[in-house]
Structure 1
Amino acid sequence: MKFEEQIDALKHLSPQAFLALGTGHVAYVRPVTINNQKVFSLHAADGTALTLVDTLEGACALAQQNDLDAVTVQ
């Protein structure tokens, strides 16, 4: 499938199908502040919060241990 066809296919995904993209394969990490302390929140691809971790490296390692590719969100 050509790149343009892939983009067109993504534009026509249902909201449910879009939410399912990356499920079981991708997790995202974002910094959050709790009680004036910066920690990192690890989420499943669908946005489900999985855990809080003290460091970005720890969050990425935890994702990797669970066979997930971690991406960061600012």
Structure 2
Amino acid sequence: MSTISDQATTPEALTMVDIRHLSEQQLQMLGMSQVAYVKSVTVDGEAAFAIHAADGTPMALADDCEVAFAAIRQHEMMPTLVH
């Protein structure tokens, strides 16, 4: 079991949810402030690495995968690579 909050973050407002039955909205919010992902992209014909929030919101571009990971860690988030 995991706790997911749809609206508030106070302990009293948290709801117990079976993680196997998360709604699409709950899944999108999972890890929002802790996880960012890196995806290789092409921008103006050049290889780059896009940094996205857990919900897919674009956050930044980097020239190098290691630089992208370092930027994410610098903001106290956990980086993950997406293919």
State TM-score, norm by structure 1. 0.85
Aligned with 1:43 (options 52, 64, 70)? 52
Moved over 3 A (4+): none
What SS does the aligned partner of 2:22 have?
coil
Identical-pair percentage: 40
- Structure 1 or 2: more strand by fraction: 2
What SS does the aligned partner of 2:67 have?
helix
Unpaired runs of at least 5, structure 1: 2-8
Unpaired runs of at least 5, structure 2: 2-17
Deviation at 1:35, TM superposition (A): 1.5
What's the C-alpha RMSD, in Å, of the aligned pairs? Answer: 1.1
Higher RCO structure, 1 or 2 (CA under 8 Å, sep 6+): 1
State TM-score, norm by structure 2. 0.76
